[in-house]
Every structure is written in structure tokens, then in C-alpha cells.
Amino acid sequence: MTTLHQTHSFTRQARLAAAVGAAMLWALAPQIHAADAPASAPAVAAAPAASSYTVVYREVPDVISAEGVVEAVRQSTLAAQIQGQIVELKVRVGDTVKAGQVLARIDPRAAEQVVSGSQSQLAEAQAGLTNATRAYERNKQLFAQNFISKAGLDQAELDFKAAQARVGAVQANAGQATTARTFTTITAPYAGVVAATLVELGDMATPGRPLVTVFDPASMRVVATLSQSSLRAVKLQMPVQIEVPDLKRSLTAKQVTLVPLVDSRTHTAKLRLELADATGLLPGQFARAYFATGVARKLVIPDSAVLRRSEVTAVYVQGEGGQAYLRQIRTGDAVGGLTEVLSGLREGERIALDPVKAGLLSGSSASPAQK
């Protein structure tokens, strides 16, 4: 039984992988045919023709869609660590910055005075240590000659060790003051883009107040939200398709990470979808992810054949005489360049791959009523 179950599971995964590959090939089919077709002379008005596609049922991935948001993998909001007035603001929103580039400066005068005071205290402590060291050495010689008591030597040793400890404490304070002085310069932690400047020149910076937000546009991901019931059905080892409507782009996640935490209020989990190509993406953009759950036999057509105008979704169907007629259809999910047709088309019918061209050639003729 174990062997049969493993064989059945392997077969299902192989069929699902093959279906994903087939969906991608069918999405590219119009482009391949167009590239292979020889150049032809301009068509006359009497016999125009548009590329067509035969509607058939195919095994395609059965998917669950989930809404998501684009976010930067590296995004940092730099905050002030000391108090002072903003005396320089060198960047604006949208500026590209390099790692270590100065973004803003806080008035350093107070920090420099603290450094100067700590250095003076250090010099005083070192002078006290020098004096205590000499006194201790002198008292050791006097004790060896029986000129002072053991209590006098012990007191000299105590003063010497106390002076040593004071020098160590003052050195630490001086180092802290020197480090705090570097906090007056706000620099970019990595190369990226300025997303927001949260202060203006002359504002008072306080510890913890946000100053500048920077993100790395080269490393982006989509965070999708999926319900608990759907999470059990998806196969995270299969390719995940991501659609960004604003850019009209379809991407494939290079890595899927399930955040091991479920929201107790919404009973949903988050999945991080790492992207290999983040060109044109911006944090906060809406995205939709499609997770494969298996393989299903569906009536599908290429996305390019679908004509969408306001509330109307339609295709141009080629009639018996070669004339194309506009017919409204109802569509389902679109994955891998293919759109599922729920109603409005039958298997075996031929549709135009370029609805705009077909509309011009046909004179926007309306379809006769379907039987």
C-alpha cells in the first residue's frame, strides 16, 4: 500500500508539473507561430485574416488565488539617537543613495562639548594614577626599610588600585561620548532609494524620532495572505505565479516561505514570495498570487484573445464564412497566460488571437444568438 501511495503521489506531481509547463508553452504559442510565419504581402480588404485559436479542453493547474502586497526585503527607517537640531538634510524623496552616503546631520556642538569634557576628565584621572603609582612604589621601599607600617603600605596600594579603576571608568565614558558624536551624522546603511523624509531642516531631533526611510529596490517580495482552509490544499513546492495588475506583469516566485504564525482574528497565514526580477516594482503595490492545488481539465484560451471593455468581457468568434463575430463570455482565473472560460464558448470553436485587429476587419459585427 505504501508503494502504491507513493507512486500515485509521484504521478500526480508529475502531471501537475507537466500542466504548468504546458500552460507556459500555450501562452507563448501565438508568439512562436508569429515568429515562424513568413512575411506576407499586405492583405486586401476582400480577404483579410487574423490569427486564430481553436478552443479546447486542457489539463491546467488548479489554483487558489490570494491577494498580496509588494514589500522591500530591506527597508529601514533611520531614527535619531541623540537630541539636537537638524542642520542638514541632504536628500529628498526618490533620491538614489549609496551605502554610507550622508543623509542628514544633527547639530554636533553639544556632542563635541561632551567629548571635550570627557577627555579632560580622562587626563585628570591619568594624572591621579601617575601620582598614586609613584606613591605606592615609594611606600613599598619605605616599608622594606621598616620606615612605615603595613597599614600605610596597604593604604598606598588601595589608592593606586582606585586610581586605576577611575582611569578605566573615565576611558569608557570618553569612548561613549566619542561614539555619541558619530550619531550626529545619519548615513545610508546600504544602497537604495529614499522612500520618505520625516523631518525638515531646523526640526528638533529626539532619540527615537524617525528621520529618513530607505529601501533597496533590487530586492523585493510579495506577502500574500491565505486562509487556513486553503493553506492545507496548496502545494508550496510547485511554482507560484504572481500577477501585478498595475504593471500588467506576471512573475514566478523563486522562493516561497510560510510565516509560522496564524492571525487569531482572521485565521489567515502569510506567505513570503521572493522575486528574482523586481524591475518596476514599488513597495505597497497590489499583487495577486496563484497557488497550485492540483490539475484540472478546463476550457482555456490565451489571455491575448480576451477583449475587456468596462464591464464587458468578450472574444471574436470566427463563423463558417470566416467572418468574426463579437461574443460575450464569462471567465475564471487567468494563470500562465491562459484564461479559463466558464461560459460563452464551446470546444472546437475558433477565436481570434488579436481581438482589436479582428474587430477592425469584421466591422464589429455582433454574434448571432447561441443555440
Residue 336 predicted with pLDDT over 60: yes
Distances in whole angstroms, Cα of residue 290 to Cα of each of 176, 222, 236, 268, 336: 52, 12, 11, 16, 10
Model confidence at 321, pLDDT cuts 50, 70, 90, reads: confident
300 vs 31, which has greater pLDDT? 300
Q: What is the pLDDT of residue 248?
A: 81
Residue 369 lies in a domain: no
Q: Buried (b) or exposed (e) across 117-133, using 16+ Cβ within 10 A?
A: ebeebbeebeebbeebe
Do 87 and 197 lie in a common domain? yes
Residue 335 predicted with pLDDT over 80: no
| CATH assignment of the domain containing 141 | 1.10.287
Q: What is the pLDDT of residue 23?
A: 46
pTM of the model: 0.65
Residue 166 lies in a domain: yes
Do 221 and 290 lie in a common domain? yes
Model confidence at 49, pLDDT cuts 50, 70, 90, reads: low
Q: Buried (b) or exposed (e) across 82-115, using 16+ Cβ within 10 A?
A: bebebeebebeeebebeeeeebbbbbbebbeebb
Residue 7 lies in a domain: yes
Model confidence at 50, pLDDT cuts 50, 70, 90, reads: low
DSSP per-residue string spanning 259-297:
EEEE-TTT-EEEEEEEES--TT--TT-EEEEEEEEEEEE
Domain boundary among the residues 276, 295, 314 is at 295
| CATH assignment of the domain containing 194 | 2.40.50.100
Domain boundary among the residues 183, 206, 229 is at 183
Model confidence at 247, pLDDT cuts 50, 70, 90, reads: confident
In residues, how long is the chain? 371
Question: Is the distance from CB of 204 to CB of 59 less than 8 angstroms?
Answer: no
The total of structural domains in the chain comes to 4
Do 157 and 117 lie in a common domain? yes
Average pLDDT, the chain: 84
Residue 323 lies in a domain: yes
Residue 42 lies in a domain: no
Do 238 and 288 lie in a common domain? yes
Distance, CA of 343 to CA of 215 (rounded, Å): 45
Grouping H, G, I as helix, E, B as strand and the rest as coil, residue 46 is coil
Residue 312 lies in a domain: yes
Residue 121 predicted with pLDDT over 80: yes
Do 319 and 223 lie in a common domain? no
Q: Which of 154-158, 313-317, 362-366 has the lowest mean pLDDT?
A: 362-366
Do 172 and 280 lie in a common domain? no
- Cell triple for residue 184? 550626529
Q: What is the pLDDT of residue 89?
A: 96
Do 205 and 220 lie in a common domain? no
Do 25 and 11 lie in a common domain? yes
Distance, CA of 74 to CA of 282 (rounded, Å): 12
Residue 25 predicted with pLDDT over 50: no
Counting other chains too, the contacts that 324-330 makes at CB distance below 8 Å and 24 or more residues apart are 324/50, 324/352, 324/358, 324/359, 324/361, 324/362, 324/365, 325/362, 325/365, 325/366, 325/367, 325/368, 326/359, 326/362, 326/364, 326/365, 326/366, 326/367, 327/367, 327/370
Do 138 and 168 lie in a common domain? yes
Do 338 and 350 lie in a common domain? yes
Residue 261 lies in a domain: yes
Q: What is the pLDDT of residue 9?
A: 45
Count Cα neighbours of 170 within 13 Å in the Cβ-side half-sphere.
20
Residue 35 predicted with pLDDT over 90: no
Q: Which residues pair with 185 in a beta bridge?
A: 105
Distances in whole angstroms, Cα of residue 249 to Cα of each of 60, 172, 241, 245, 344: 20, 56, 10, 7, 27
Query: Which structural domain range is residue 263 located in?
Result: 70-74+216-295
Do 285 and 335 lie in a common domain? no
Do 192 and 178 lie in a common domain? no
Per residue in 128-150, pLDDT (tens digit) is 999 999 999 999 999 999 888 99
| CATH assignment of the domain containing 257 | 2.40.30.170
Residue 357 lies in a domain: yes
pLDDT, average across residues 25-54: 46
Domain boundary among the residues 280, 295, 310 is at 295
